[in-house]
Every structure is written in structure tokens, then in C-alpha cells.
Amino acid sequence: MTYRVLRAAGRTAVPWKNGGGVTREIAASPEGAPLDAFDWRVSLADVTADGPFSSFPGVDRTLTVVEGAGMDLMVGGEHHIVDEPYWPHDFPGDLETDGRLLGGPVVNLNVMYRRERTAAETAVVRGTLRLRAPQGGAVLAVALEDGAAVEGQDTGLDCYDAVLVEDGAAPVVLRTQGYALVVTVSGR
């Protein structure tokens, strides 16, 4: 088994579960699973207006603002100001959550995972990384800026292109000139 490059250009915009915006799935497991059946899912969301987040019972979420001024999230009655670009913010997906834009539209990178079946760690990094999937899991790296490259591949990664390395695949070396978001998913 080898790694897969997932190009941003091939992603389809899909309405949110609550109909309040659109998302573009980067990767999920199982692949093609509906929103009520994934173990984990990583996507980009275009947020152009204030409003409620979709509820995902049993799911933990990590939101990272990758474009725009950020959001004021009200999660289970608590304010969470998410205004630092590339700073992952964790919260339970089953708590009532409402988002207010701080200064216009944003693009958020969302990581969602079923807490009883999986665990996910999200980090934003730059430099040279060795991507190795944990046993029974996967590692996904999403270029947040142009100029990333997978060692041994002729074409580079543009902004929002991703590399998925699953259990059983040989490790992959990723070199970034800018930042990349790395999600490591493991089974429980």
C-alpha cells in the first residue's frame, strides 16, 4: 500500500448537514461514509454568515481557521474566541454550538471523529516531516500554503492539496515551505 495525494481541485462543495453553508471533504473513513456513519472526517468549510453549527452526537471536533479574521464560538453556553490563524481549537460536536464571524467570511479546516471509536490529534507545522500512520490508523497532511512537496514526487502540493498515509503504507517525507495541518488518527 502507498500514500495518496488528494488534490483540492477535485473536491465538490456539499451543503452542510444543517443547510447553513458548504463543505468540501478532504478525506474520511470509511471512504464515502455518510455524515452519520464516518469514524473520522476532515473537510474545509466556507463560512459566510453567522449561525448554528450542525450537531454531531458522539463526535469531537477540531476547528482551525485557515482564512479570515476568525469566529466567536458559543459552545454549550461558553464563549470561545477562535481568531488565531492556524491554531486548532477542540470542542465537543454534540454540544449546541453557534458561530459569529469576527470580520467577514472565513474558511475553517474541520476535523471530526467519533470519540468511542477513534482519537485524532491535530497540529499545524512547517518544515520536513516524516508521515507514518499509527497501527490501525492514518495520517493526513493538508498544505495550508503553496510550496509543499512529497519526497520522490515530481509535482508539488498546492494550497489545500493533501497527502493521506494509511496503516500499512511506507512512511512518506513531506517538505513544506509554508504551513501544513497534520491530523493523526488512531483507533481506540
- Residue 27 shares a structural domain with residue 68: yes
pLDDT at residue 78 above 80? Answer: yes
Instruction: Give the domain-ending residue among 114, 135, 151.
Output: 114
- Residue 125 shares a structural domain with residue 107: no
Query: Which DSSP symbol is given to 77?
Result: T
* Mean pLDDT across the chain: 94
As a whole number, mean pLDDT of residues 31-57 equals: 93
- Percentage of the chain modeled with pLDDT above 70: 99
- Residue 171 shares a structural domain with residue 136: yes
Instruction: Give the domain-ending residue among 52, 84, 114.
Output: 114
pLDDT in tens, 165-181: 998 889 999 999 999 99
Q: Output the pLDDT for position 1.
A: 55
- Residue 104 shares a structural domain with residue 130: no
- Residue 103 shares a structural domain with residue 22: yes
Burial class (CB in 10 A: 0-12, 13-18, 19+), 151: exposed
Show the beta-strand stretches assigned E in 7-161.
Answer: 14-15, 22-29, 40-47, 51-52, 59-67, 71-75, 78-82, 89-92, 97-101, 106-114, 118-131, 138-143, 149-150
Q: Provide the edge-to-edge strand list for the sheet that holds 71-75.
A: 51-52, 97-101, 71-75, 78-82
**pLDDT tier, 84 (very low <50, low <70, confident <90, very high otherwise):** very high
Q: Output the pLDDT for position 127.
A: 96
Q: Give every CB contact of residue 161 below 8 A, 6+ residues apart in sequence.
A: 5, 6, 7, 8, 142, 143, 148
- Residue 95 shares a structural domain with residue 27: yes
pLDDT at residue 143 above 90? Answer: yes
- Residue 63 shares a structural domain with residue 130: no
- Residue 17 shares a structural domain with residue 92: yes
Domain that holds residue 153: 118-187
Query: CA–CA separation, 27 vs 5, rounded Å?
Result: 11
Q: Output the pLDDT for position 75.
A: 97
* Total domain count, the chain: 2
Who has greater pLDDT, 154 or 123? 123
Whether residue 4 is contained in a domain is answered as no
Q: Which residue has the cell 476532515?
A: 42
Q: Output the pLDDT for position 77.
A: 95
- Residue 100 shares a structural domain with residue 130: no
Task: Kindly report the pTM of this predicted structure.
Answer: 0.94
pLDDT in tens, 16-35: 877 777 899 999 999 988 88
As a whole number, mean pLDDT of residues 78-99 equals: 96
Instruction: Say if residues 1 and 166 touch (Cβ distance below 8 Å).
Output: yes
Whether residue 2 is contained in a domain is answered as no
